Amino acid sequence: MQYPATVAELTRQLRNGGYLADRGLATTLLLSLSLHRPVLLEGEVGVGKTEVAKVLADVFGRKLIRLQCYEGISTSQALYEWDYARQMLQIRALSAAEATDETSVDRLFGPKFLLERPLLEAVRQGDQAVLLIDEVDRADDEFEAFLLEVLSDFQISIPELGTVKAASNPVVILTSNRTRELHDALRRRCLYHWIGYPTAEREAEIVAIREPAAAGQLVGKVVAAVQRLRELDMAKPPGVAETIDWVRTLGVLGETELTPDAAGDTLGAVVKDRDDLDLVRDNLAEIISGG
């Protein structure tokens, strides 16, 4: 399936895939698709940064390749690795005559013994892939520099095999939670978009798309309550993901009303910090009543 050419069309298709993108995000994504540039998404926790890549892949029938970054991630976990154990077995299985044969060594370092990791896989797949580089801020600086190299050329050199180059660039989405400042060079290479908390109407729409079974009235109440929670002085304000979780939790319990009891029992779906929990419990009545 081809990527669309207009913002409106892209927004419509993402919506069909269950993702409500606002004008800014849709424009940024469209630019990324047409200019072949990576997108760097930053924003509060739980506003759907990772979801963007999943939906893009899903809607346009691309393969989602996810590289979850973490501290200490190394090239052998991001690019490729040789399957040493199999190579070893292969060597032991060779007869003396075969071992002296030139091609048998070449075969040892052939595609059969190469373990593809996300970045190499994405380069191989080209535009048939959506590459999600999740929480890039968690990887260390050195990795960022390396990423820069891959993102600029989309080519990877494997000494034993030669250079693998993408025939066409994959769509690349990077997400960051801002636990540390990313290097300017990486930011430069990307289109940038900040995803904030949605308005109440929009959040209700998002929940309705995600949880179609939920009653509209309940969704409205829950969204209003979550919006008020965000105004509270909380250590961890709930994201959209928490709103959806809360509606889902209430649905599982068969609640159709956001009563103080129901809310109190299911608070764990939205509030994830003990101090916050105390704060919210003290104000629970106001929060759910809308007063």
Considering only residues 110-169, where is the footprint of another protein by CB under 8 A? 137, 140
Q: Applying CB under 8 A, which of residues 16, 24, 216, 285 lies at the interface with another protein?
A: 24
The DSSP line for the chain is: -PPPSSHHHHHHHHHHTT----HHHHHHHHHHHHHT--EEEEESTTSSHHHHHHHHHHHTTPEEEEEE--TT--HHHHTEEE-HHHHHHHHHHS-HHHHHSHHHHHHHTSGGGEEE-HHHHHHHHGGGEEEEEETGGGS-HHHHHHHHHHHHH-EEEETTTEEEE-SSPPEEEEEE--SSPPPHHHHHHSEEEEE-PPPHHHHHHHHHHH-TTS-HHHHHHHHHHHHHHHHS--SS---HHHHHHHHHHHHHTT--S--HHHHHHHGGGT--SHHHHHHHHHTHHHHHHT-
Considering only residues 31-50, where is the footprint of another protein by CB under 8 A? 31-32, 34-35, 37, 39-40, 42
23 binds another protein (CB under 8 A): yes
71 binds another protein (CB under 8 A): yes
12 binds another protein (CB under 8 A): no
7 binds another protein (CB under 8 A): yes
28 binds another protein (CB under 8 A): yes
74 binds another protein (CB under 8 A): yes
Q: Applying CB under 8 A, which of residues 184, 212, 213, 291 lies at the interface with another protein?
A: 184
Which residues contact another protein (rule: CB under 8 A)? Answer: 5-7, 23-24, 27-28, 30-32, 34-35, 37, 39-40, 42, 70-74, 76, 82, 84, 87-88, 91-92, 94, 99, 137, 140, 177-181, 184, 187-188, 190-194, 235-236, 275
